[in-house]
Structure 1
């Protein structure tokens, strides 16, 4: 170990990190997957979803915002934490209108993939059936707010990568909704090539005329569970 690196453990696995890395960044590089939904490696962390919450030296904290430190003891893959994550995912399903069999993001959806990974066979909480707007006014993009999980990825990407600030939140509590900086999407400066369009983890922001080009059964999470690409990095190091 050099003077510029240090180690900590995650579920008993030694992870090497560098100063300035968060726990989830160091774990991703080391091939240790921690479930997440709002986190994206190309965006600044926000800690919105809390799915990545781990026990760090015995206390819960979001691993996407917590800086890694030498000697830190992190617990992630435990029955208690995975049960909490499953509840969070289930709440997102019942608070929105997620019709997986007819959603064109099925198989590419991170929310759906996390449900499978965490063993969610079906919601146990009552559905809320909200009435949310679909905005298809833009020639190349549509927004289905029924599928929005309020992860803020599009907001962060639009501001920090695209330099446009197209998206934002409005409302409070359960009435929070994704908003755009115009009466409708066609009045904004958003373009299909924008980063904000491509970081949505679900089927909320979709590019028109691209649906079903990859058939069901051949999509990202049809062949391998979410996080398997990260875990493969550690498997590769063992060979």
Structure 2
């Protein structure tokens, strides 16, 4: 049975969606980019980061967990929403340790790329400089807690895709951190370099050893085109 289709409006653009799609899924198909960080198209949505928050029928809602509905009126690309999203990205930068110039993920980091896209020049909040450790106990993967932004992608991937429970959160608020299900560190877990959880990290928290710099600086995903360009290209192709 074919799912019913309907239309809604985002920033004055009419978008066709199908029943069961979220707002962000429908907009992705239509070639309209909504900034996001915790969302991954191959994982169940979680609504952790709130970067995808839009004004939907007059109320602020996360586009990744809001079902698309007929007649919705959505604001996405506005100065206020850009400012709000930039503030979220700034807080993620100052709450962790992100030395972009020499980070192994520079040019391939979604946090860094969003900072560029949203016009973040320098954080306006004071840096927290937390003391965090690197877990290098695994033979093929290291876990750098300095970079973790608590997006939960690795948790969802490990549970839903890999059938494991390698990752989880512990603590609350500013004390929340990513944890693994073994006292001796990642090396004592069932984690493997081929696991989905090893490839979905948007920053450089989970890094596969001996793979660093295989793609040189200047040739990485966001070195030449802004984040979201792949989605927006769909709309450009449809209009041509």
How many Å apart are 1:3 and its aligned residue? 7.9
**What is the DSSP-based 3-state SS (H/G/I as helix, E as strand, rest coil) of the residue aligned with 2:159?**
helix
- For 1:4 and 1:58, how far apart are their aligned partners in 2? 25
Q: Normalising to structure 1: TM-score of the pair? A: 0.98
Residue 87, structure 1, aligned to residue 90, structure 2: no
How many Å apart are 1:12 and its aligned residue? 0.6
Match of residue 38 from structure 2: 38
Q: Which runs of 5+ in 2 are unaligned?
A: none
Match of residue 60 from structure 2: 60
Match of residue 101 from structure 2: 101
Q: Which runs of 5+ in 1 are unaligned?
A: none
- For 1:140 and 1:13, how far apart are their aligned partners in 2? 46
Q: Pairwise mapping of residues 80-229 of structure 1 onto structure 2 (< 5 A)?
A: 80-183=80-183, 184-229=185-230
- For 1:3 and 1:98, how far apart are their aligned partners in 2? 44
**What is the DSSP-based 3-state SS (H/G/I as helix, E as strand, rest coil) of the residue aligned with 1:94?**
helix
- For 1:85 and 1:136, how far apart are their aligned partners in 2? 33
- For 2:132 and 2:118, how far apart are their aligned partners in 1? 27
**What is the DSSP-based 3-state SS (H/G/I as helix, E as strand, rest coil) of the residue aligned with 2:146?**
helix
Structure 1 ranges of 4+ moved more than 3 A: none
Match of residue 6 from structure 2: 6
| Paired residue total | 238
How many Å apart are 1:133 and its aligned residue? 1.3
- For 2:43 and 2:92, how far apart are their aligned partners in 1? 22
- For 2:182 and 2:206, how far apart are their aligned partners in 1? 16
**What is the DSSP-based 3-state SS (H/G/I as helix, E as strand, rest coil) of the residue aligned with 1:147?**
coil
**What is the DSSP-based 3-state SS (H/G/I as helix, E as strand, rest coil) of the residue aligned with 1:48?**
coil
